[in-house]
A = this chain, B = another copy of it.
Amino acid sequence: MVKITDVARHAGVSPSTVSYALSGKRPISEETRRRVEEAIRELGYRPHAGARALASSRSKVLALVIPLRAGIHIPVVMQFAVSVVTTARRYDHDVLLLTQEEGEEGLRRVADTALVDALILMDVQLHDPRLHLLRTLERPSVMIGFPASSEGLTCIDLDFKAAGERCVEHLAGLGHRVVALVGSPPEVYVRQTAFAQRVVQGFTAAADRNGLSSAVHPCEAAPGSARAVAERLLREQPALTGVVVHNEALLEPLIDAFEQLGLRVPGDLSVTAICPDELAESVRVPITSVALPSAELGTRAVELLMRKLGGGSSVPEATLLPPRLTERASTGPRTAP
Contacts and interface: CB of A to CB of B under 8 A. Distances in A.
Contacts of A78: 74, 77-78
A94 B96 contact: yes
A52 B54 CA distance: 9
Interface stretch (A17-25, A42-50, A163-171, A191-199): A42-50
Interface stretch (A6-14, A80-88, A143-151, A321-329): A80-88
A127 interface: no
A81 B85 CA distance: 14
Interface stretch (A112-120, A205-213, A306-314): A112-120
A173 interface: no
A89 interface: yes
A112 B81 contact: no
A85 B96 CA distance: 10
B112 A46 contact: yes
Interface string A67-97: 0100000110110011001100100001111
- Taken together, the copies of this chain in the complex come to 2
**Which of A49, A74, A98 gathers the greatest number of chain B CB atoms within 10 Å?**
A49
Interface residues of A, number: 43
A5 interface: no
A302 to B, nearest CB: 13
A157 to B, nearest CB: 21
A170 B213 CA distance: 54
Contact of A53 (B49, B64, B77, B98): B49
Contacts of A97: 64, 81, 85, 94-97
A38 interface: no
A98 B99 CA distance: 16
A102 B223 CA distance: 37
A224 B46 CA distance: 49
A19 B109 CA distance: 17
A317 interface: no
Contacts of A50: 49-54, 59, 114
5 contacts: A48-B54, A74-B74, A78-B78, A81-B97, A82-B99
